[in-house]
Structure 1
Amino acid sequence: MAELTESRELTEPGKPEEPGLGERVDAFVREHVMPREDVLDAGGPAADEALRALRDRAREAGLWALPLPAELGGQGLDLAAYARYAEMEGASDHGPAALGSAPLLDVRMLLRHGSAGVRAAYLPRLVAGELRACYAMTEPESPGTDPFLTATTAVRGADGDWVVSGRKWFTSGAAGADLVTVLARTDGAPSDRHGLSLFVVPTRSPGFRVVRELPVLGASGQWEIAFDEVRVPGDHLVGERGAGLSVAAERLQLGRTLRSLRWLGQAQRAFGLLARRAATRGGARGPLHSHQLVQQHVFESLLALRTTRPLVHEAVARLAAGEDAHVEVGLAKVAAARTLQQVVDAAIQVHGAAGLGPDTPLPALLRTGRAARILDGPDELHVTSVARRVLTAYA
């Protein structure tokens, strides 16, 4: 395996795309992942077994870890090339995990900011799917939009190790994670704008515990976790001491863009259900597609998709080029979340009572769309941030 350095960028040109790769990814998600969603959503041993089987199938199909470095066992696609496939994978919430692209944020972060020991210990196993990672930033007693209020602490001992204490919540996938990246205060006090650092913490460390599950609108996957004087090796500091927010901001930019791509994939999935229902459903007053109000649902949903997709891909292009993308990512995140909610709502309306029940994925998609407007920064945060940046140029 080639030596990995801190300077390695995931925006470097990757290998050429294979002809027909998009069709293969799309078919895999539709034929193998979507039929297993009920099992995967339920969690537990059956979900773990189903995910292992899907991952084995993805490897056999040559679709494993498309955007991850080739020297670590991935496919080596750069961000710009991977973006289209991220939509296809994201049509199911479980697509990225099944196809091995889910660790992209952690792999990128550790390649750029992890110590040599951390990179050697964890990166190959993350890419291989042998380890799962999660990210813990938000705390119960402070708003997630204000990281300066972080109260979790990390105190360095005489031996160079750190002792982490505090509590985090709405940490995705924490119950099944092997590693958690945690934002903690190494200097100063809550409300100070300095002194925050990131650490990679193995979840088997004494003092780490899962406090409770936090269902989001009834769906599982989010957790509250605690660090009760968890000892962390000194080289598990990510980046420099006190530089946690700059590393986190870098991670958040890419994370929000990837989620926007996946929400587009789910909105496209909902649009397919909407159009199919309108085109094939008949009634005493004629087929649904003949009704103007149904046609309006189709038109408005298509318009939302067609106007949101360029915004998201503009954010991808700027990130891939290493340019400032705060405005583009903010626009993309808000637009993609709204589009998902709008298109799914229209699809439910056209399905009628059937759209509320268990026979379609629409209720789950609606839940994702509504949560998307709050998690990962509420709409209001991005609206304000983008507006301020834009208005500065006119001041």
Structure 2
Amino acid sequence: MLARFDPHDQQLRDDPYAVYATYRQADPVHWGQPFKPGDNGCWYLFRHDHVVAMLRDPRFRRKLVPADPLASGRVFGAPRGFAELSGRLLLSLDPPHHGRLRSIVAPTFTPSAIESYRMIAAKAADRLIDGLEEATAFDVIDNYAVPLSMTLIAAMLGLTADELHPDLPVWVSRFGDGFDLRKEPAAIARADDAAANMLWFFETAAASHDRLRPGLISALIAAREAGQLTHEELLALCVQLMFAAHGTTVAQIGNMIADLWTRPDQLALLRAHPELMAAAVNESLRFNGSVQSTAARKPIEDVTLGGAHIRAGQPVIAFVGAANRDPKVFEEPDRFDITRARGAAVMFGAGIHYCLGARLARLECQIAVGTLMRRLPRLTLTERTQLHRHTNIVLPALLHLKAVTAA
């Protein structure tokens, strides 16, 4: 008999794809154990078609009664703690609030805007490798992926890399702990502290920012002065960029490097055919994505999905990691294959919450991995530590990825 899915199950952290496969085959729209204390259960989705259907269905909302401070005239104070701040991120908002704020930041992520960051990323990657070429060993995450990402984020914000607080990567990681389905008190405490620190940083940065400098901060200040968003929304959007563009992208770079360098045949194929780089990025996103599930949504009315009757107000979580290994969509889904034709992977979501930074993430992964492969051809991984597998099943990032520059 199939046990009720439990987000606290150790096996989910140790071997998530095996757990996904069990429920995807036996009960793909599953009423499982609650992730939130006090609830009596939660719906979990494991099949590709069900995940996509839910993400595109406007009846599934993050909040049953959306609150738009500009439309309603309500006054919202500064967010306090993880719960309140995360509730103001774009991924947590519903129409019309979501559309209003998304339209303000969308110009930062147009194809031409993203392409303008290519040279910045390429120069930063080469500069970082310059400093690592003579190193006997280094950490691919800490010494390469993190500073590369921070350089790009600084450019997008309209800051220099030196103006970013050195603890921002730590704060982003701890903020991400708050999204774990288990909601452990220690993780929430870390996320609360990180939220306060990031709000302080962006409050200070916005107050002293030269508005003539191009970048997202200047654009948000102009929108605030035009009455298009509140000051609190400005801060939340800055945190959104920091969290989405840094945390998940750094994790994906780590995943991709680990996936390639532990599969010599695929790495050799990519070296021989660098034109496969875009396909390799897509395959890494499908095979081992840095985001494994959505946040909970609730239908505003009763909905039937996959033969299951979901009542209005019941929480629903979609496992995109399970959808991306669905054998009905992907042939041999558990095989990492950089020649795989680009399919319908759900790595960046779907519907109105489709990730604005998808192009940027792909670009950054291509440059990070391509530069590493070109500049350090004898690079060998010595350690693959997945400590976050044991603390965050939503964002299972590699904390460290040790490497040596010569075999």
TM-score (structure 2 length as normaliser): 0.26
The higher relative CO (CA closer than 8 Å, separation ≥ 6) is in: 2
TM-score (structure 1 length as normaliser): 0.27
